[in-house]
Structure 1
Amino acid sequence: MAHYQVGILAGIPAHAEYLFFQLQQETAAQEIKSALEKIKHLVDGDMLVLGLGHDLCQQLHLHVPALKHFSIEATTGTSETQSALNKNADLWCWLRSDERGELVECQRQLESLLEPYFTLHDQVSAFRYQGGRDLTGYEDGTENPVGEDALATAFVNDPNSPLHGSSFVAVQQWQHQMQHFHALARAQQDNIIGRRKSDNEELEDAPESAHVKRTAQESFAPEAFVLRRSMPWAQQSKAGLLFTAFATSFDAFEAQYRRMLGNEDGIVDAIFSISQPINTHYFWCPALQNGELAFG
C-alpha cells in the first residue's frame, strides 16, 4: 500500500476541480480536527488529493518546517499582486476524475462535512486538453521526471521523519491572453515558448527570454526539478493554466519563478507577454498511513 497520495503521481484526469477553502475565524483546534476527521473517508489521495496551508497547520500545531506563505513579488504588469484571491487558502482539495459527475457529488459531500468551520473561498474547474497540452497548443510538462525520479522529486523520503511520504505543492493560476497569443505568427509563438508547436522540439536559437530557457530545471544550482501536474482551465471568456508543481520543498519552484521574473539577470520570461499569474498558493500534502490521511 502506498504511503503517499497516489493521485500526485497519476496521469492528468479528464476533469478536475480545484477547491480552495478558508477556515472561519475563532475556530478551535479540536473543531478543525473534527471537521478533517469527517472527510478522511473521502480523501483517498487518488480521486481527492488534499493539501493544508501554513496557517491551518499552525492552528493544528503541526510541525512542518518547509511550509510557508508565498511571498515573491510579481513584476510590474502582472496582476498577481492585485488579486483578491491571492490570500493563501487554508485547505486545498484537488478532485480528479474522468467522470465530471463524480466530482460534483464529491464536492457536495466535502462542503457539507466541512461546514460550518470551512467555507469555499475559490473554485476553478480544469480539464485535460489534447492529451496534455496547454490551451496555447504546446505540450506541458515535457521534462517531467518519471519513475523513481518522480518519486524522489515529489515526496519526502526519510522513514525517520514524520514528513515521510508527504509532498509540498505550489498551485499558481495563470490567465492567458488568448486572442493576443493567437494573433501572433507561429514563429513568434515558438520563440515565446522556446519549442516548436509542431513537434515539441526545443529551439536552439530561441531568445534568452524563451520560457524553456528560463525554466530549464537542470540549469539551476542545485537543480530545480518539480513534478508538474498542471491543467488548463476556462471560465466564460477567461482561460489559462493551473500550474501545479509538487516537490520536497518550495525551493525549486521559487528558483524557477525568480528567474522567470528576471531577478537573476534582468531577463524577464517571455511568457509574461501572453499570460499572467493571478494567484499562488502553497500547501503541504500529508502522507497516508494504512490508506488514511496522516496529518497528526
Structure 2
Amino acid sequence: MSHYQPGILATPVPAQARHLFFALESVTDLPAALDRLTQWLAGHAAVVGLGESLVKAMGASINGLRPFPALAGVGVDNPSTQHALWCWLHSGEGDDRGDLLNRSQALQALLAPALRLVMMNETFRHKTGHDLTGYEDGTENPHDDAAIAAALVSHGADGTVGGSFAAIQQWQHDLQRFHGLSAGAKDDIMGRRLSDNVELEDAPISAHVKRTAQESFAPEAFVVRRSMPWIDGDRAGLMFLAFGFSLDAFEVQLRRMSGLEDGIVDGLYQISQPLTGGYYWCPPLQDGHLDLRALRSA
C-alpha cells in the first residue's frame, strides 16, 4: 500500500518536529484552503489530519471519525481539546529550527483566512527514541506489514483506503518527582527496567506496560506510536501520537489506563498528566497529493 502519507510510518521519528493545531474561521473559504493544502503537502515532510468539525463543515462524514472523549477516572482527567485541523511538520535531514519556523508560517498563510493557528508544540527526538524519563518509547510497536495493518485503512470507499486515524495527547511530566523515586519504583511505574528495557515479569498490575499490553485486548489493540518529547521553559513531557486504522484501539487502551475497565489506574498518572486530546483523520494520497474525494462525494 503506497497511497498513504509517508510520515505516518517513516522511522525513526524526525530529529525535530512541530504539531500545529488550527481552528476553523471561515467555512466559505475552506474548500480553496484545502485545495492549496493538497498541493502544498506534496513538497513537504508533514502529516495532515482533519478533525470531525472540519469534515462536517465540508458536508461530509468519515466512518469512525469522532471528537476526542473527555475521560475521567479516580484522580484521572483526560481532557478533550479537539481542533479542526492538525499538521505534524517534520524537519528534514540538515534542517534546523529556523526552517520549521519558516515552513510553519508559510502553512499559516496558506490556510488563511479559512483556518487559524491556535496552538503549536515543538518536539524533538531524544537519544534514539526515548522519553525524557529515560525509558525507550514505542518498544512494542508493530513493524513492516504488521505496522501497515495496524495503522492504515485497508478497504472502504474511494478516498479512504490508505487513510489513517491519529490520536494525540500532550503529557506533562513531573520529572523532579520522578527522578526522586528509587530505581525500583520507577521501573514499577513503567513495567520495564530502565537499564536494559526488559519487561518486568513481576511488575505490578498498575504498570504502564501491563495497562497498555496491546495483545491483551479483545480484539487486539495494536497502534503505531510516533511520540516525541517536548520542552517549554521548565515544563516538559511527551507529545503522544498514535496511528491506527480506527480510533478504537487507542480508546480502549486509554479507558483501561484511566481505570474505567477494572478500577486500576495506570501508574503513569503518578508522574504525568495529559493536557490535551484530539482525534484526526489523515487522508490518503493520490498521485502524491492529499486525496480528499471522501470530502467531496457527500
User: What residue identity is the alignment partner of 2:10?
Assistant: A
Q: TM-score, normalised by structure 1?
A: 0.94
Instruction: Determine helix, strand or coil for the equivalent of 1:157.
Output: coil
Residue of structure 2 in register with 1:88 after alignment: 82
Q: Structure 1 unaligned runs (5+)? A: none
Q: How many residues align?
A: 289
Does structure 1 residue 227 correspond to structure 2 residue 242?
A: no
Whole-Å separation in 1 of the counterparts to 2:74 and 2:120: 26
Whole-Å separation in 2 of the counterparts to 1:45 and 1:88: 27
Report if aligned partners of 2:17, 2:88 keep a CA contact under 8 Å in 1: yes
Whole-Å separation in 2 of the counterparts to 1:80 and 1:121: 20
Residue of structure 1 in register with 2:62 after alignment: 64
Does structure 1 residue 292 correspond to structure 2 residue 293?
A: no
Query: How far apart are 1:61 and its partner, in Å?
Result: 2.0
Query: How far apart are 1:131 and its partner, in Å?
Result: 0.7
Moved >2 Å (runs of 4+): 39-42, 74-81, 159-162
Report if aligned partners of 1:233, 1:241 keep a CA contact under 8 Å in 2: yes
Whole-Å separation in 1 of the counterparts to 2:231 and 2:255: 27
Instruction: Determine helix, strand or coil for the equivalent of 1:40.
Output: helix
CA distance 1:219–1:129, change in 2 (3 Å): same
Residue of structure 2 in register with 1:104 after alignment: 101
Does structure 1 residue 210 correspond to structure 2 residue 207?
A: yes
Residue of structure 1 in register with 2:50 after alignment: 52
Report if aligned partners of 1:8, 1:46 keep a CA contact under 8 Å in 2: no
CA distance 1:23–1:177, change in 2 (3 Å): same
User: Which segment is superposed worse, 160-169 or 123-132?
Assistant: 160-169
Instruction: Determine helix, strand or coil for the equivalent of 1:74.
Output: strand
Residue of structure 2 in register with 1:268 after alignment: 265
User: What residue identity is the alignment partner of 1:37?
Assistant: D
User: What residue identity is the alignment partner of 2:8?
Assistant: I
CA distance 1:209–1:3, change in 2 (3 Å): same
Report if aligned partners of 1:7, 1:46 keep a CA contact under 8 Å in 2: no
Does structure 1 residue 74 correspond to structure 2 residue 72?
A: yes
Whole-Å separation in 2 of the counterparts to 1:210 and 1:240: 18
Whole-Å separation in 2 of the counterparts to 1:291 and 1:225: 27
Q: CA RMSD in A?
A: 1.6
Q: From 182, 194, 197, give the equivalent of 2:194.
A: 197
Does structure 1 residue 175 correspond to structure 2 residue 172?
A: yes
Query: How far apart are 1:120 and its partner, in Å?
Result: 0.8
Does structure 1 residue 36 correspond to structure 2 residue 37?
A: no
Query: How far apart are 1:279 and its partner, in Å?
Result: 0.8
Q: Structure 2 unaligned runs (5+)? A: 294-298
Mapping 1:156-167, distance limit 5 Å:
156-158=153-155, 161-167=158-164
Report if aligned partners of 1:42, 1:48 keep a CA contact under 8 Å in 2: no
Query: How far apart are 1:164 and its partner, in Å?
Result: 0.4
User: What residue identity is the alignment partner of 1:132?
Assistant: G
Residue of structure 1 in register with 2:2 after alignment: 2
Whole-Å separation in 1 of the counterparts to 2:44 and 2:179: 35
User: Which segment is superposed worse, 155-164 or 205-214?
Assistant: 155-164
CA distance 1:46–1:76, change in 2 (3 Å): farther
Report if aligned partners of 1:5, 1:46 keep a CA contact under 8 Å in 2: no
User: Which segment is superposed worse, 244-253 or 39-48?
Assistant: 39-48
Whole-Å separation in 2 of the counterparts to 1:230 and 1:203: 22
Residue of structure 2 in register with 1:19 after alignment: 20
Whole-Å separation in 1 of the counterparts to 2:201 and 2:185: 15
Q: From 132, 135, 141, give the equivalent of 1:135.
A: 132
Residue of structure 1 in register with 2:242 after alignment: 245
Instruction: Determine helix, strand or coil for the equivalent of 1:151.
Output: helix
CA distance 1:135–1:45, change in 2 (3 Å): farther
Identity of aligned residues (%): 50
Does structure 1 residue 277 correspond to structure 2 residue 271?
A: no
Whole-Å separation in 2 of the counterparts to 1:153 and 1:15: 25
CA-to-aligned-CA distance 1:99-143 (integer Å, 9 cap, x gap): 233312211111111112211111000000011000000000001
User: What residue identity is the alignment partner of 1:137?
Assistant: G
Query: How far apart are 1:42 and its partner, in Å?
Result: 2.4
